Amino acid sequence: MRSRSFVIIFFAILFTGSFVSAYAQYPGYKPVADINAFKKKFAEESEKVQSITSDFTQEKTLVALTEKITSSGKFWFKRSNRVRIEYVKPFKYLLVMNGDKLLVRDNDRENKINVKSNKLFQQVNRIMIDCVQGTILDSKDFTTKVFENDKNYVLEMKPTSKALREFFDVIVLTVDKSDYAARSIEMNEPAGDTTTIFFENKKLNEAVADAVFAL
């Protein structure tokens, strides 16, 4: 009898502990009650976004080494599947996605890749477009939980495929409630290192020339 009570108390503590820790990650946030309504609204609002221009700051934290590297640049998106990410400081690096084609330029080289030729590129391309277009909640690449406070939604995305799980433990997308655009993306690696990209000076639906995505 005593040992049964002990087991019940033990499991109660264990479950209470896991319950608390699930919310402790996002202080001030609570789970979204009607996930289907959120999904519908998220897709509808994202549908209205034809283009995004934004500055970004990226922080990579190497936990075990107590090292942090900050980089910054500019981000462009144009519906339906064109993305340009340009790192300016402290190094130069350019990535342009235009349909099935990808251009990568670093200090030395320029590489043009057909996304269709590589499964991982296809997956990364799809995820990026799903995040920006608001269709990530329907993605089979992740299981997603949604939390909210009065200003933001937090989408906690856990990769389902083995290939993605090798790179990411969980991806946390913070979405602004006022315009449903991403405020930040936090990528948590299995070893504990994190990379967070903060979007600043966002401009939605302003004219963006096609030349920005020229390959």
Partner 1 sequence: MKRSLTRCLPFSVIVIFCCACASDYKMLEATSSDPACFEKLAPRHFETSWFHASVDVVGHHLSGLLLIKNMPDSSYRVVFTNEAGVTFFDFGFSKTGDFTVHNVIRQMNKRPVVQTLRNDFALILGLPFRTDVHQKWLHGNEVYYGVTQKKKIAYFITNKDCASLQRLEWGSARKQTVVVQISENGYPKPEQIELVHKTFNMQIKLTRFQKE
Give the binding site for partner 1 (CB under 8 A). 58, 60, 62, 64-65, 67, 69-72, 87, 89-91, 93, 106-109, 111, 166-167, 187, 189, 191, 193, 195
Q: Residue 16 or residue 70: which is nearer to partner 1 going by CB?
A: 70
CB of 186 to partner 1, least distance (A): 10
CB of 65 to partner 1, least distance (A): 5
Token pair recorded at residue 82: 């064109």
DSSP 181: -
Sequence-separated (6 or more) residues with CB below 8 Å from residue 147: 23, 26, 29, 30, 31, 32, 153, 154, 156
Q: Residue 43 or residue 104: which is nearer to partner 1 going by CB?
A: 104
CB of 73 to partner 1, least distance (A): 10
CB of 148 to partner 1, least distance (A): 26
Q: Residue 45 or residue 186: which is nearer to partner 1 going by CB?
A: 186
Is-contact 174 152, C-beta < 8 A? yes
Q: Residue 175 or residue 197: which is nearer to partner 1 going by CB?
A: 197
CB of 195 to partner 1, least distance (A): 3
Q: Residue 70 or residue 117: which is nearer to partner 1 going by CB?
A: 70
What length does the chain have? Answer: 215
Please choose, from the candidates 73, 69, 72, 71, the residue with its C-alpha nearest in 3D space to the C-alpha of residue 60. 69
CB of 9 to partner 1, least distance (A): 38
How many Cα atoms sit within 13 Å of 2 on the Cβ side? Answer: 0
Q: Residue 34 or residue 106: which is nearer to partner 1 going by CB?
A: 106
- How many other CB atoms are there within 10 angstroms of residue 213's CB atom? 20
DSSP, collapsed to helix, strand or coil, labels residue 121 as helix
Q: Which residues pair with 200 in a beta bridge?
A: 55
DSSP, collapsed to helix, strand or coil, labels residue 89 as strand
